Amino acid sequence: MNSRFFIPVLIGLFCLTSSVTANADTALEISMKQMSKAYKELALDLQQPLDANKSDYLALTGTLKTSAQTARGLVPKKAAALPPDQQAVMVTAYQKSMDNLVQSIDGLTQAIQNSQWDDARKIMADIKQQMMDGHKAFRAKE
């Protein structure tokens, strides 16, 4: 193959792969997106909950909990920009917030198991507030 043709192709491929990898989601973003999908579905379901669909709702709280526990073990991108001593402080605070989130998800599971739909909706609203506070504190400005 003629090098006048080969080299531009090579450069093109290199740019393509580096932009794809640069934009790939972090493991934390992947966990967060899984939480987001489960949260949105559950919020919709809880507007008109049915006892008959309880196992579906509990499957969603299961996904929320597993993804939150995975996210708890990961480090937000924002930490990388901080000096080492502040990184440790931030990660500890982040983990504490994620522990609180997991506790709330456990309370949500309990309320759903007991068909306490008003309580479940209240906890969902509280989880949303925890999300907004967590993003403000620990999410890097993109």
Q: Does the protein bind ligand HEM through residue 36 (CB under 6 A)?
A: yes
Q: Does the protein bind ligand HEM through residue 46 (CB under 6 A)?
A: no
Own/partner contacts of 111-116, CB < 8 Å, gap of 24 or more, are: 112/49, 112/54, 112/57, 112/58, 112/61, 113/54, 113/58, 115/49, 115/51, 115/54
Q: 73 with 117: CB under 8 angstroms?
A: no
Task: Tell me whether residue 92 or residue 114 sits nearer to ligand HEM (CB atom).
Answer: 92
Burial class of residue 64 in the structure, from the number of CB atoms within 10 Å of its CB (0-12 exposed, 13-18 middle, 19+ buried): buried
Q: Does the protein bind ligand HEM through residue 57 (CB under 6 A)?
A: no
- Tell me which of 17, 26, 113, 114 binds ligand HEM, using CB under 6 A: 26
Task: Tell me whether residue 17 or residue 33 sits nearer to ligand HEM (CB atom).
Answer: 33
Q: Does the protein bind ligand HEM through residue 29 (CB under 6 A)?
A: yes
Task: Tell me whether residue 51 or residue 142 sits nearer to ligand HEM (CB atom).
Answer: 142
Which position's Cβ is nearest ligand HEM?
Answer: 134
Burial class of residue 39 in the structure, from the number of CB atoms within 10 Å of its CB (0-12 exposed, 13-18 middle, 19+ buried): buried
Q: DSSP strand E in the chain: where?
A: none
Q: For residue 136, which phi and psi values (nearest 5 degrees)? A: -65, -45
- Tell me which of 46, 60, 98, 111 binds ligand HEM, using CB under 6 A: 98
- Tell me which of 42, 101, 112, 120 binds ligand HEM, using CB under 6 A: 101
Binding site for ligand HEM (CB under 6 A): 25-26, 28-29, 32-33, 35-36, 39, 76-78, 94, 97-98, 101, 127, 130-131, 134-135, 138-140
